Structure 1
Amino acid sequence: MTDMPRILHLVDDATPGGITRVLDHIRSCPLMAQTARHELWTVARNAALPRCDADMIVSHLSLSWRGLPALISLRARHPGTPLVHVEHSYTEAFTALNVRAKLRFFTMLRTAYALFDRVVAVSEAQGAWLTRRRLVPAGALRVIPPVVDLAGFRALPAPQGAPRVIGAIGRLHRQKGFDILIQAFRQLPDAGLALHIHGSGPEEAALRALAEGDPRIRFFGHSGQPEKVMASVDLVAMPSRWEAFGLVALEARSAGRPVLCPRLDGLATSAGADGLFVTGHGIDAWARALQRALAATDSTPDRAAGCEAVFAEGWAELIASCCGHAKRAPQSAGAGAAPGTLIAAGLS
């Protein structure tokens, strides 16, 4: 156990969400603990990064021009330590919808990625985009789809009969496309249907305004019990405008719930082969797709078997390729935290 590599994960967004839950899984999963000791430091966004005593440093940071000096300093102060970046955010669809100065944006990404020994894409589609745009050299790229502990989702009984409750689960942000879903749902005449929206975010007031007057649409806010939320719905709709992976889709599959989503970015991976894919984001197209999905009664639960093992194997291979079997230097004061310890760096 003492010779296990110490892997330090840096994150600048500790708000509840998919990244936080994946990092919690990394630190608590027994499979992950078989090959390394994983620790987490929370740092301030775009601020100076700490000097780290670790066998490998993993960035889950938000990349930007403003944050580049901190990354350059991190690289300079750890010349012999493998650095890895996990790209949780940027995708082809994100860039198409949100980036005007694309050449400048791609220059920033190439510059940032070049500071790392490896870059991890969270889906095959994202990895293909990074390669196609020559943002990451092929030899430096790894694809490791994220995962959380899915046991609680797999334990849920699959819905019986035609779906009646549609679930929209996630941050209430333009990215998630819940505005499209609400307008499409309102075209369905069946008074016995329900749309349950679980989450919070900056678009809540606008979404409530879109739903006003339709008692079938209910808002439940953010929940810290995702399995309980999944148990309350029969089908999950994800009209996302961009999505690096789509953890909710993986959780829905594990719970035997159909997933309705566009085939873009990482959703083609997370929704699985049995995903119900919608072309585009047109409201009428989504209304028709909802009608088809709600009429289906013969879906077979997927349950996403083996995802946790694939995730652990991917990380084990990454760590072995970066760290080999070299023993790390003696720990400095405060570096011997137990596996899974959350360390707040306290930087400003």
Structure 2
Amino acid sequence: MPTHSRAAQPTTVLHLVQPVDGGVARVVTDLVRAQTAQGIRAVVGCPPGGTLGDAARSAGAEVFTWRAGRAPGPGLPAELAGARGLLRRIRPDLLHAHSAKAGLAGRLAARGTPPTVFQPHAWSFDAVGGTTAALALRWERYAARWADRVLCVSEAERRAGESEGITARWTVIRNGVDLDHFRPGAPDPAQDRAESRAALPLPPTFPADGPLAVCVGRICAQKGQDILLRAWPEVLAAVPAARLALVGDGPDAERLRRTAPARVHFAGAAADIRPWLRAADLVVLPSRWEGMALAPLEAMACGRPVLVSDVSGARESLPSGQGRLCLVPPEDPTALAEALGRLLAEPRLLAELGEQARQHARTDFDVRRTTDAVTGLYHELLGRPRPLNQERISR
């Protein structure tokens, strides 16, 4: 019976992932789609539920169940055993561990064999406080030895790791979005907004012609919707016809809904967020921490201006010159209200910022550039020739 060398088989990459919704799930799905098209065998290990499993299968991945929770806790031994089981079963050429929990279990399970890429998607020690944050940082400093590369999505994310004493082999590859999917729905922005709003379930109590701010993201502490709701009464005092839609679901949704001020609509999760982005005059994301958030990139690709808190990746996301108007300090509802009120009162300024944002996204945030760079990194780590059409962005 003839034998086949391992080298003759397609390169196998195991994506170990804990978050099954939101930006991490979309990043992994984009990678899987591109890697499958390039002849790589992409395998995803993730918990059941959420959108990732089905999306990854549709993109061409084999999907295996890896049971893991978001937070560290007594389930870690079972999560570690599950990661080891996947590595034995799949025998990947390379492990790509996404986010804190997969980075913890994956690196402990692999210990550098096979070659390992760890992508934090925002640092775990930013997400917690006190003793837990100290332990998370201690772990990240220690575990960097088991990552052949720590892959950051912004220079700010890399600098944050370095400044906290993490010594690693770094690569920076910025997030990107599918520019064929995220684009204006009509050439004229006013027509685009009107048509999108007509198709959405906006409350009948909303003023018909008021400016609309939209916040897209998991409703949780990280994304800062509570800060936005604290700022909103002050926004209404400056722009009485303003409206706000929160698109997404999450652990804080019910609590925030009970105490929300006037002119706020909780739209819930949306299978397609494009109509909401296109309906907006302004897209706002007041995050407490990020690596480089996808929602602002998607909004800009749809031709909408964004207002974001000045956390990792935010400045690198914005067009040159927009930082003065479109960045606010994190966890500062007063500054957020002032910026929102100023922007929502100036439709011509919003139109100008939106066009700048659209051009910027199309120039700098094409997901094909991102996925090609990641695949190029794999080839480098595996010592294999890089396809000529791939561009690497690294440090």
Which TM-score tier does this pair reach, normalised by the shorter chain?
0.7 to 0.9
Change (3 A) 1:282 1:62: closer
**Structure 2 CA distance, aligned partners of 1:264 and 1:183?**
19
Structure 2 match to 1:325: 384
Residue of structure 2 equivalent to 1:330: none
Distance apart, 1:9 and its partner CA:
0.9
Aligned counterpart for 1:41 among listed residues 40, 45, 69: 45
Which residue of 2 is the match for residue 249 of structure 1? 296
CA distance in 1, matches of 2:295, 2:155: 17
Structure 2 distance, partners of 1:218, 1:185, is 12
SS in 1 for 2:379: helix
What value does the CA root-mean-square deviation take over the aligned residues?
2.8
Aligned partner of 1:55 in structure 2 is 93
* Match of residue 277 from structure 1: 327
Deviations 1:79-126 (A, max 9, x none): 3x211111113167x26x634465433221122222111111121101
- Alpha-carbon separation, structure 2, partners of 1:317 and 1:197: 37
Task: Report the CA distance shift for 1:163/1:136 in structure 2 as closer, same or farther (over 3 A).
Answer: farther
Question: Are the counterparts in 1 of residues 224 and 285 from structure 2 also a CA contact under 8 Å?
Answer: yes
* Number of equivalenced pairs: 313
2:109 matched to 1:73?
yes
Residue 263 (structure 1) aligns with: 310
Q: Contact conserved, 2:217 with 2:248, CA < 8 A, in 1?
A: yes
Q: TM-score, normalised by structure 1?
A: 0.80
Q: Within 5 Å, give how 1:17-28 maps onto structure 2.
A: 17-28=22-33
Instruction: Give distance in 1, aligned partners of 2:370 and 2:160.
Output: 21
Instruction: Supply the AA of the counterpart residue of 2:370.
Output: F
Partner residue, 1:8: 14
Instruction: Find the aligned partners of 1:2 and 1:186 in 2 and give their Cα distance.
Output: 63
Contact 1:164 1:193 in 2 (8 A): yes
Letter of the 2:40 counterpart: A
Residues 173-252 of structure 1 mapped to structure 2, 5 A cutoff: 173-187=220-234, 188-189=236-237, 190-212=239-261, 214=262, 216-252=263-299
Mark the CA change 1:101 to 1:26 in structure 2 (over 3 Å): closer, same or farther. Answer: closer
Contact 2:246 2:267 in 1 (8 A): yes
Between the aligned partners of 2:107 and 2:376, the Cα distance in structure 1 is 24
2:338 paired residue number: 288
**1:150-206 alpha-carbon deviations (Å, 9 max, x no partner):** 322214346339981100111111221112212222122334221011111121233
In the alignment, which of 147, 154, 174 is matched to residue 145 of structure 1? 174
Pair 128,295 (structure 1): closer, same or farther in 2 beyond 3 Å:
same
Aligned CA distance change for structure 1 residues 2 and 159 (closer, same or farther; 3 Å): farther
How far off is 1:245 after superposition? 1.4
Q: Return the letter of the residue paired with 1:71.
A: R
Equivalence for 2:390: none
1:126 aligned partner, one-letter code: E
1:312 alignment counterpart:
371
Identity of aligned residues (%): 28
Distance 1:193 1:320 in 2: 50
Opposite residue 373 of structure 2, the aligned amino acid is: G
Q: Following TM superposition, by how much is the alpha carbon of 1:238 offset from its aligned partner in structure 2, in angstroms?
A: 0.9
1:118 corresponds to 2:149: yes
Aligned partner letter, 2:246: I
The offset of 1:59, in angstroms, is 0.8
Tell me the SS of whatever aligns to 2:357.
coil
Q: Is the 8 A contact 2:311 2:330 kept in 1?
A: no
Taking the aligned partners of 1:288 and 1:202, their CA distance within structure 2 comes to 28
Residue by residue over 1:45-104, the C-alpha shift from the partner in whole angstroms, topping out at 9 and shown as x without a partner, is: 231112132221111153499x55x633322xx73x211111113167x26x63446543
Residues 121 and 145 in structure 1, CA contact (< 8 A), matched pair in contact too: yes
Query: Runs (4+) of structure 1 moved beyond 6 Å?
Result: none
Residues 200 and 165 of structure 1: CA distance in aligned 2, closer, same or farther (over 3 Å): same
Conserved 8 A contact 1:58-1:86 = yes
SS in structure 1 opposite 2:166?
coil
- Answering whether residue 118 of structure 2 is matched by residue 82 of structure 1, we say no
For structure 1, which runs of at least 5 residues remain unmatched after alignment? 327-348
Q: Which runs of 5+ in 2 are unaligned?
A: 1-6, 47-65, 69-75, 194-208, 386-395
Q: Which residue of 1 aligns with 2:136?
A: 105
